[in-house]
Amino acid sequence: MTASEGLVDFHCHLDLYPDHRAAVQEAEEAGIFTLAVTTTPRAWPRNHELAQATRHVRAALGIHPQLVGERASELALWDAYLTETRYIGEVGLDAGPRFFKSFDLQKQVFEHVLRRCAEAGNKVISVHSVRAAKSALDHIEKYLPLGQGKIVLHWFTGTKAEAKRAIEMGCYFSINAAMLSSERHISMVSALPLERLLTETDGPFTKTGERPSKPSDVLIVVEALGRLHGLSSIEVVANIKANLRGLLEFT
């Protein structure tokens, strides 16, 4: 058993590391449940192939909102792969200045994704919602009825009121170290119920020291959540594992 056995990285871009296969293998050997999200449907086959050979890594089928402006034509390909996985991500909305010009198209694509997931049922969806928490929650409420899928809000930076709404809608939240380095975000995270939390790195887009974060770095998040809630790391890991089981056992 490794020191990182039992950890959860519920949002990581393993295919964007210099050596995709090695990144998958490292997560597998460390015994970390890792959700390998993808940014385009074209990335799905290779991610699926490598994850299938592991016990701990799962691949998610995505169409990233920041890429919708140039990749919306791949939506038919996304549809074609949908039956191959239970995990969907990274999908969602991004109203940041760089991507706002595609926001209407993003909303159309996200609606399509949620409708298809609702029809298929039993999907677990990792959702991006930068500067778009209200719109993302509006879409989820409208197009993914309760009981027809599960939402995990990745790197959620909405308000406490938006977080409360998301909790009432049954959403989970995946928390990374960057979220816990800002007082405003710490305040929001501390208001989230422990039983709705998962850990993530969003590597390689985040850094641990001078290097890109990797799945084992979720231990930093575990320790920070422990300090926030007055729990030991062992207790936090047990909570996160129980949350993951609860998330995946719904039908």
Per-residue pLDDT tens for 130-149?
999 999 999 999 999 999 99
For 8-249, which CATH class?
alpha beta
Buried b (16+ CB within 10 A) or exposed e, 187-196: ebbeebeeeb
> Where residue 28 falls among pLDDT bands split at 50, 70, 90?
very high
pTM of the predicted protein model: 0.97
Q: With CA atoms as reference, report the closest residue to 227 among 163, 177, 166.
A: 177
Phi, psi of 222 (to 5 degrees): -55, -45
Mean pLDDT of the chain: 96
134 contacts: CB under 8 Å, gap ≥ 6: 158, 162
Tell me if the bond preceding 41 is cis, omega within 30° of 0: no
